[in-house]
Structure 1
Amino acid sequence: MQILLVGAGLSGAVIGRFLAEAGHQCRIIDRRPHIGGNCHTRRDDETGVMMHVYGPHIFHTDDRQVWDYVNRFAEFLPYRNRVKTTVGNKVFSLPINLLTINQFFGKALRPDEARDFIASRADHSITDPVSFEEQALRFVGADLYEAFFKGYTEKQWGCSPRDLPASILKRLPVRFNYDDNYFFHRYQGMPRQGYTQMIQAILDHPGITVELNTDFSPDMSRQADHVFWSGPLDGFFDYRLGRLGYRTLDFERFTYDGDYQGCAVMNYGDRAVPYTRITEHKHFSPWEDHRHSVCYREYSRAAGPDDIPYYPIRLVREKALLEEYLTKARQTRGVTFVGRLGTYRYLDMDVTIRESMDTAQMFLTHLKNGKAIPAFLTDA
C-alpha cells in the first residue's frame, strides 16, 4: 500500500519504519526543514555543544521493548535528570526530597520525622481536592506550595493554580529520602549522538521517502491508501470549529565561557522571575567535554496561530472543543491520528513510541482481517 505520514517526528518515523518493514511504501512529509519534530538535536556551530533545539528531552521508560527499540537505532548512555530550583535566592533540589525539606525549613529530619512534619503543615480541611492549588495544599501545606509550585505553575500555564485541575499533580513529587533523580523509571539515558541521528537511522529504509519543507495538501491524501496524521488535530480540519489551546515556549539563547550553572536544568520558582527555567545543554551530554556553554532561558506563553504548540491546555473550553473534533475525526475514513498533536495529549517519548508501535500493528491486523482502520488507536 501507499502510506502517507504527515510529520517526521517520532510517531511518523516509528510507524513508517514498522510499515516499511512489512512491505508498504511510506512517504513522510514535514513542513519543517529537519526531521525529529520537537526532539530535534544538532551541534551548535559556536560551541560544539549538542543542543536540544526545542527544549530538553530526557529518555526514560519502564517499557523494555521500547528501550530495546531505541537502542537498536542509537547508542544510549546513562543519564540521570537532577533538577535544581532557585527560590528566594537559594538553590534547592527537585523533586522535593528530604534534602529539600531540611534545607528549606532549616532542620535535620529523618524520613519518618519529615513525613510527620509535612503532614502537620498540610491543610486537612481539604478532603476532596479539585484544583491544582487544593491538591498541593492538602498534601504539602502552604509553605512548600508557595515556594515550589505556585509561581512556577502560574508562569508555565498562564493562569492561577486554582483554575487548573488537581489531576496535574497526580503523583505529588515529594520524596522522604535523598533521592534526587527526577524520574523513577528503570531505563534512563540519552543517545550519544542526539535524537536526530537516532530518528535518521529509523527512517533509513528503502521503503521510506522523506520530504522536508513540505506542507500537507488534500491532494496528497487522495494519492495515498491511508494517512497517519501527527499534526494538530484541529489543523487537519482547518480549525473550522475553532483552535484548541496550547502553551508554547520562547527560548532566549546565550553562551558562556565556562560552566554557567553547574547543572542541566535550573528552575526559577519566584513569580517575579519572568522565565521558568534555564537549561545548560552541555550537561545533557556529560560524557563530552566543552569549555564553552550554550544556555536557554525558557519562557512560556499562550500559543498563537503561527507558534509551535508544546503543551495542550485541556481545560473546560478545550475539552468541549476537543470532543467535537474527536467526533469529526472518528467520522473521517482513511486517516489515523497519532502523537501528542494528533491526539491532543502530552506524551513522553517512550509513550509516543509505544503507541506508534501499537498503532502500526493495529493497522496491519485490521488490514489482514479486512476491517476498517479506526481514527485512533484506542478505538481498535
Structure 2
Amino acid sequence: MTGHVMMVGAGLSGAVIGRMLAEAGWQVSVVDARPHIGGNCHTERDAETGVMVHVYGPHIFHTDDAEVWDYVNRHTTFMPYKNRVKTTSRGQVFSLPVNLHTINQFYGKTMRPDEARLFIDEQADTTITEPQTFEEQALRFVGRDLYEAFFKGYTQKQWGMAPTELPASILKRLPVRFNYDDNYFFHTYQGMPEHGYTPMIESILDHENITVTLNTRFDRAEAAGYDHVFWSGPLDGWFDYELGRLGYRTLDFERFTYTGDWQGCAVMNYGEVDVPFTRITEHKHFAPWETHSGSVLYREFSRACGPEDIPYYPIRQVNEVALLREYVRRAEAEDGVTFVGRLGTYRYLDMDVTIREALDTGRRFLAARETGHAMPAFAINPL
C-alpha cells in the first residue's frame, strides 16, 4: 500500500524518512520555509575565500552507530576529522576536554595519570554526595579551580543563567581525562563530508518519487491532502503556539574574514564571563584537506530565542517541560501527523541520533501501513 506523504522540513529527518518512503514506492513532497535544504546543517562555499562555511555553526559528525555511518557514506565521502577544541582562560590557551595536559599546565605540574587522579580527587568537593545542579556536579568531580576556569563562565553565557540554576544532568559524564587524549569526542566513527553537508542531503533527496519545494511554509490545513504528514518544525508551531512558546536558546554569529590563519584551530572557547561571546570558530579548519589563503570566522553569541529567531537549544527547564506535556497531549490527539527531529520532539539531538531516529520512524511507518495499524504522533517519546 502506498500513497502521498508530506515531509515538513528538508533537514536530516525529512530527507531520511522521505528517501526511505520514496524507495518503498510512496510519493513524497518535501517543503521547507528556508531557501535551501539541510536545515541547520546547511553548508556553502564562501564566494570571497572559497572556504566551506557551516552557515548555522559547525556540525561535526561522530557516532558509534555503524548503520548510520554506512548510510551517510553512501551519500557522500567522509574525510577523517578529529575535533580538538581549545579554550582561552586566564591569559593562557588550554586543551578541552580537560585532560592530563590541561591539568598539568593549569597547575604547573608534571603529574602522571595516577598522580593526577589522586590530585583531582583532593580538589573535588566530596561533601556533595548527590549533585542536583550543574555547579554541584562540576565541584564534585573537578573542584572549584577547574570549574571556574573552564565551565562556569561558558555555561552561564551559553544558557543565560547561573550554573546553580541548571540541572546536574547537563554534565552527564566526568568532564576530565587522565591521559593526553584531546579528541573532543570518543565515538568510533568521526569525520566531515568532503564537500559539506548540503550535497549529502541533496543526494538523499535525489529520488524520482521526491519533490522538494523551498521558500514555502506549510499550513496544517493542507494536511488533509496527504495520507500522512511528518512534521520536523517546532512542536508548538504546529498548534500556532496556542498555549505559549517552548523555550529555546538561539545563536547570533558575528562573521569576519582574515588573510592567513587567525587562531590555528577550528574551535576556540572563551570561558570567562567578561568576554561576551562563547567561542570563535574558524571554518577552514573543519576541512583540513583543503588549502585556503583566506579565512572565515564566526564569533558566537548565545541568547534567549525570540519569535523570529532560529531555535537551537531546547531549554527543557521545569516550566518548559510542563508546557511540553500539554503540547504532547494535544499532539497525541491529532490524526495523520508524526512529529520528528530536534524541533518536533523538543530534544537536543546530534546528527547521528537524528538519522537513527529517522530510519526507525520510516520503518515503523511502513510496518504500520503494512499491518493496518495507526502511526503514532511520536515514534520517540519527547518526555
Output the TM-score relative to the length of structure 1. Answer: 0.99
Q: Deviations over 1:41-85 (max 9, x none)?
A: 000011000000000000000000000000000000000000000
Q: 1:90 and 1:19 mapped to 2: Cα distance?
A: 52
The number of equivalent residue pairs is: 379
2:258 corresponds to which letter in structure 1?
A: Y
2:50 corresponds to which letter in structure 1?
A: G
Partner of residue 62, structure 1:
64
Partner of residue 286, structure 2:
284
Partner of residue 189, structure 2:
187
Q: 1:320 and 1:53 mapped to 2: Cα distance?
A: 33
What does 1:134-173 correspond to in 2, within 5 Å? 134-173=136-175
SS of residue matched to 1:241: coil
Q: 1:237 and 1:117 mapped to 2: Cα distance?
A: 53
Q: Give the C-alpha shift of residue 89 in structure 1.
A: 1.4
Cα pair 2:339 2:378 within 8 Å, conserved = yes
Q: 1:32 and 1:98 mapped to 2: Cα distance?
A: 44
Cα pair 2:258 2:295 within 8 Å, conserved = yes
Q: 1:290 and 1:153 mapped to 2: Cα distance?
A: 33
Runs of at least 5 residues in structure 2 that lack an aligned partner in the other structure: none
Cα pair 2:220 2:238 within 8 Å, conserved = no
- RMSD over equivalenced CA pairs, Å: 0.6
Output the TM-score relative to the length of structure 2. Answer: 0.98
Q: 2:174 and 2:229 mapped to 1: Cα distance?
A: 39
Cα pair 2:249 2:305 within 8 Å, conserved = yes
Q: Give the C-alpha shift of residue 173 in structure 1.
A: 2.1
Runs of 4+ in 1 over 4 A off after TM superposition: none
Partner of residue 19, structure 1:
21
SS of residue matched to 2:250: strand
Q: 1:173 and 1:48 mapped to 2: Cα distance?
A: 36
User: 2:113 pairs with 101, 111, 114, which one?
Assistant: 111
Q: Deviations over 1:257-309 (max 9, x none)?
A: 10000000000001000000000000000000000100000000000000000
Partner of residue 270, structure 1:
272
Q: 1:51 and 1:112 mapped to 2: Cα distance?
A: 42
Q: Give the C-alpha shift of residue 222 in structure 1.
A: 1.1
Q: 1:4 and 1:175 mapped to 2: Cα distance?
A: 46
Partner of residue 78, structure 2:
76
2:230 corresponds to which letter in structure 1?
A: F
Partner of residue 336, structure 2:
334
Cα pair 2:40 2:56 within 8 Å, conserved = yes
Q: 1:342 and 1:240 mapped to 2: Cα distance?
A: 16
Q: Give the C-alpha shift of residue 218 in structure 1.
A: 2.4
Q: 2:365 and 2:90 mapped to 1: Cα distance?
A: 53
Q: 1:361 and 1:81 mapped to 2: Cα distance?
A: 32
Identity of aligned residues (%): 72
Q: 1:281 and 1:83 mapped to 2: Cα distance?
A: 13
What does 1:38-49 correspond to in 2, within 5 Å? 38-49=40-51
Q: Give the C-alpha shift of residue 378 in structure 1.
A: 3.1
2:380 corresponds to which letter in structure 1?
A: T
Q: Deviations over 1:90-146 (max 9, x none)?
A: 000000000000000000000000000000010011010000000000110000000
Q: Give the C-alpha shift of residue 331 in structure 1.
A: 1.0
Q: Deviations over 1:14-60 (max 9, x none)?
A: 00000000000000000000000000000001100000000000000
Q: 1:275 and 1:78 mapped to 2: Cα distance?
A: 29
Cα pair 2:124 2:144 within 8 Å, conserved = yes
What does 1:1-380 correspond to in 2, within 5 Å? 1-378=3-380
